[in-house]
Amino acid sequence: MAILITGGAGYIGSHTCVELLNAGYELVVLDNFSNSKPEVLRRIKEITGKDFTFYESDLLNVDAIESIFSQHDINAVIHFAGYKAVGESVSEPLKYYHNNITGTLNLCDAMSRHGVYDLVFSSSATVYGVPKQVPITEDSPLGATNPYGRTKQMIEEILRDLHVSDNRWSVALLRYFNPIGAHESGKIGEDPNGIPNNLMPYISQVAAGKLEQLNVFGDDYETLDGTGVRDYIHVVDLAKGHLKALESVLLTTGVDAYNLGTGFGHSVLEMVDAFEQASGQKIPFVIKERRPGDVDSCFADTRKANQKLNWAAEKTLTNMCKDAWNWQSNNPTGYTEANDLVTSIQIAP
């Protein structure tokens, strides 16, 4: 019996693989490396001392997915694979609808053909759009404001429809808030392509001297210091939330959404301060215009995940910043330099 991890070479997927392997699960991992590097696989094995099966496959390739389900006794799936850049989704919506939605349809089709009905899905707090109130509860109205967010909202609805059609489906919709940080070993972490869009990788690259200064997008929000407030969560806490969600879907049926955050909001300037203290590096910044689509404040009500999944984030802001800096300073060019070291990747089918 194995757990299939789609997008397992990515940022959150790789950290989840580590936690699952450490917990003794057998894993089959697939990824097409559209936003990740093969070297991460070697690092996961190095951290855990455990092996797993990997396929370089695309969820858009129906035959490849079928072949993986035929060759392995899969009993549940954690589905990370998808594109996630908000700006790109606005300029290339079809690319996002096709990859994220068709990929999920192909996966669910293969699952039902092989009698697999337990699924943990990577959704996002972005499905809430502009929150009516904070902290945000799972029953707040949904209203994603860009194509990326709408793919997540649509997939949530598709998965709910699947359960209506066949009540054997058991699905956890995990709405992540802002995952940051890295594994404490410094061996795996976030490796964005080009100039980062998100705050924490941008700050890390300023600290490393790769970028000159941070642009703070707006200081006139309705927040304590005027800068945007978000719920930053350590990626290892998030990964552990997947273990709890997996245990839950294996025991129950139905579709449940869970907020995975810390329940606390921090402003951009608080993040700069926390990172400076944790890293000992100065982060020069300038105040710029607001970024279109940004909201004042977004943080989670986490009581449902606390109570129903028996999960709570444990790591502090200092842990998040220290681990982000440890990863950045040990891997100044991300995974790129070590790519040649990887051998023996299977191509499916």
Q: Would you count residue 58 as binding ligand NAD (CB under 6 A)? A: yes
C-beta closer to ligand NAD: residue 57 or 227: 57
Options 4, 9, 233, 300; binder of ligand NAD; rule CB under 6 A: 9
Chosen from ligand NAD, ligand UD1, none, partner binding at 291 (C-beta under 5 to 8 Å by type): ligand UD1
Which position among 3, 20, 59, 120 is part of the footprint of ligand NAD (CB under 6 A)? 59
- Which residues ranging from 22 to 41 are in contact with ligand NAD (CB under 6 A)? 30-36
Q: Whole-number minimum distance, CB 20 to ligand UD1, in Å?
A: 22
Q: How far apart are CA 103 and CA 325, in angstroms?
A: 34
Q: Which is nearer to ligand UD1, 214 or 321 (CB)?
A: 214
Q: Which is nearer to ligand NAD, 97 or 253 (CB)?
A: 97
Binding mask 81-120 for ligand NAD (x = CB under 6 A): xxxx--------------x---x-----------------
Q: CA-to-CA distance for 76 and 2, rounded, in angstroms?
A: 7
Point out which span in 53-61, 163-171, 205-213, 226-234 binds ligand NAD (CB under 6 A). 53-61
Which stretches of the chain bind ligand UD1, using CB under 6 A? 84, 86, 124, 126, 149, 178, 197-199, 202, 214-217, 228, 230, 268, 291, 293-294
- Our finding on whether 179 is near ligand NAD (CB under 6 A) is yes
Question: Of 146, 11, 7, which is closest to residue 89 (Cα–Cα)?
Answer: 146
Which residue in 298, 289, 268 sits closest to 126, CA to CA? 298
* Smallest separation (angstroms) from ligand UD1 to the CB of 248: 23
Q: Is 202 in the site for ligand NAD (CB under 6 A)?
A: no
Nearer to ligand NAD, 31 or 118 (CB): 31
Nearer to ligand NAD among residue 33 and residue 284 (C-beta): 33
Nearest Cα neighbor of 119 from 248, 260, 283, 206 is: 248
Q: Does 176 bind ligand NAD (CB under 6 A)?
A: yes
| Contact string (CB under 6 A) for ligand NAD, positions 280-319, x = contact | ----------------------------------------
Per partner kind, with CB cut-offs from 5 to 8 A, the member of ligand UD1, ligand NAD, none near residue 10 is: ligand NAD
State the binding partner of 245 from ligand UD1, ligand NAD, none, CB within 5 to 8 A by kind: none
Out of 3, 5, 10, 321, name the contact with ligand NAD by CB under 6 A: 10
Q: Is there a contact between 234 and 227 (Cβ–Cβ < 8 Å)? A: no
Do the beta carbons of residue 4 and residue 78 sit within 8 Å? yes
Q: Please identify which of the residues 25, 128, 148, 258 carries the catalytic annotation.
A: 148
Q: Is 148 a catalytic residue?
A: yes
Residue 319 zone, left/alpha/beta (φ > 0; ψ -120 to 50; rest): alpha
Mind telling me the catalytic residues? Answer: 148
Residues that bind ligand NAD (CB under 6 A): 7, 9-13, 30-36, 58-60, 80-84, 99, 103, 122, 124, 176, 179
